[in-house]
């Protein structure tokens, strides 16, 4: 669980850095917000997902650490499954933030460079 907590801490610090970086880019060109928005929200969602799974992993670890006579039959498997799912989130889903970080800062013209009339094909 400690490894997941440190991994999440790094992601949260990076998330804060990315927020400031988007704000600085927006000072130069307000369209930077629109270009980054989708990937920023996806990044945020993955970090929040990991945060909530870390809380569940912590609760599962506490439950598994409680005396056996206080747990119902089947509880151990349930809590172990929670820990396994948390590992899946941290190992397989949270790394997706890397691609969202990369595409948050693509050139503004590749997204905003098309003229509105170029979207109309009703001729």
Site of tokens 């569940």: 56
What does pTM read for this prediction? 0.86
Q: Judge whether 35 and 106 are in contact, CB under 8 Å.
A: yes
Binned at pLDDT 50, 70 and 90, residue 76 comes out as very high
**Would the pLDDT of 67 be above 90?**
no
Q: Judge whether 18 and 40 are in contact, CB under 8 Å.
A: yes
pLDDT tens string 77-101:
999 999 999 999 999 999 999 999 9
pLDDT tens string 11-53:
999 999 999 999 999 999 999 999 999 999 999 999 999 999 9
Helix (H, G, I), strand (E, B) or coil at 105: coil
- List the domain boundaries for the chain: 2-102
Q: How far apart, in whole angstroms, are the C-alpha atoms of residue 30 and residue 117?
A: 21
- Looking at residue 86, its pLDDT comes to 97
Q: Judge whether 99 and 118 are in contact, CB under 8 Å.
A: no
């Amino acid at each position: 669980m400690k490894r997941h907590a440190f991994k999440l801490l790094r992601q949260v610090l990076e998330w804060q850095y990315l927020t400031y970086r988007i704000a600085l880019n927006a000072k130069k060109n307000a369209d930077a917000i629109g270009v980054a928005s989708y990937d920023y929200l996806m990044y945020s969602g993955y970090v929040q997902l990991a945060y909530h799974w870390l809380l569940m992993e912590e609760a599962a670890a506490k439950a598994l650490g409680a005396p056996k006579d206080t747990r119902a039959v089947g509880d151990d498997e349930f809590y172990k499954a929670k820990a396994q799912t948390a590992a899946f989130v941290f190992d397989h889903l949270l790394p997706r933030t890397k691609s969202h970080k990369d595409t948050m800062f693509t050139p503004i013209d590749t997204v905003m460079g098309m003229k509105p009339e170029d979207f109309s094909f009703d001729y």
